[in-house]
């Protein structure tokens, strides 16, 4: 994160002023990466959200395809765009295999990330990455179902950043948890792990 963000987070932590909306999860339960043994039965992957065109979508709409799911927000200073760049590069490297793999970018900041904002933001990345937002309640349900931590951290005035856990989730064709990877995993390693996990689905 940028220095300003780190300072803001440190001050907020010391003063106990981290503001978390009703739908956020506490760090104690969701900020650490889930182990594969624990995450399998714990992560349902269910959601009802709105895509960047304004269309309501459900997790079941993607049944039959593998999914890469990443949570972030458009005002994120570095981790989110860097991860989206890595996912873009991985999709290009996988080539025709992406016909059976869909990437979903779910916002943790529905207040600012409207469908139009997501559409403009994702125009800088691979067009196969679908942006998802919704009401606070809808986003909150998705966060809980993926065990994702998110909290609002105020800055000067009305500005704020979102502190959130950063993992890329791989869901199988039935929408079941298959694996998770660090958000900043190098592209070469991400592609190798996807090839290993998907097996015959990826040439």
Q: Give the pLDDT of residue 30.
A: 40
For residue 136, tell me if it sits in a domain.
yes
The answer to whether 97 touches 201, Cβ cutoff 8 Å, is yes
Q: Give the pLDDT of residue 98.
A: 67
For residue 203, tell me if it sits in a domain.
no
Of the candidates 80, 54, 67, 96, which has an alpha carbon nearest to the alpha carbon of residue 175? 67
Q: Where are the alpha helices (DSSP H) in 2-43?
A: 3-15, 27-30, 36-42
Into how many domains does the chain fold? 1
For residue 102, tell me if it sits in a domain.
yes
The answer to whether 108 touches 70, Cβ cutoff 8 Å, is no
CATH number at residue 77: 3.40.30.10
Instruction: Measure the CA–CA gap between 133 and 193, rounded to whole angstroms.
Output: 28
Close Cβ partners of 112 (under 8 Å, ≥ 6 residues apart): 73, 74, 75
Q: Give the pLDDT of residue 198.
A: 78
For residue 178, tell me if it sits in a domain.
yes
Q: Give the pLDDT of residue 100.
A: 80
Residues of the chain short of pLDDT 50, as ranges, are 1-40, 202-203
Q: Give the pLDDT of residue 173.
A: 92
Instruction: Measure the CA–CA gap between 78 and 65, rounded to whole angstroms.
Output: 29
Q: Give the pLDDT of residue 158.
A: 86
Please give the residue range of the domain that contains residue 145: 3-198
């Amino acid at each position: 994160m940028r220095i300003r963000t780190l300072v803001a987070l440190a001050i907020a932590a010391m003063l106990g002023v981290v503001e978390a909306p009703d739908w956020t999860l506490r760090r104690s339960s969701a900020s650490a990466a889930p182990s594969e043994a624990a995450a399998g039965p714990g992560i349902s992957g269910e959601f009802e959200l709105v895509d960047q065109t304004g269309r309501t979508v459900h997790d079941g709409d993607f049944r039959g395809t593998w999914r890469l799911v990443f949570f972030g927000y458009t005002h994120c200073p570095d981790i989110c765009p860097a991860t989206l760049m890595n996912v873009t590069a991985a999709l290009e490297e996988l080539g025709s295999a992406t016909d059976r793999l869909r990437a979903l970018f779910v916002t943790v900041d529905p207040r600012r990330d409207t469908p139009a904002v997501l559409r403009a933001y994702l125009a800088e990345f691979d067009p196969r990455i679908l942006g998802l937002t919704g009401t606070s309640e809808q986003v909150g349900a998705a966060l809980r179902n993926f065990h994702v931590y998110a909290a609002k951290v105020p800055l000067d005035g009305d500005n704020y950043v979102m502190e959130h856990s950063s993992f890329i989730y791989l869901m199988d064709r039935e929408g079941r948890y298959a694996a998770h990877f660090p958000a900043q995993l190098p592209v070469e390693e991400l592609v190798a792990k996807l090839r290993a996990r998907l097996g015959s689905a990826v040439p």
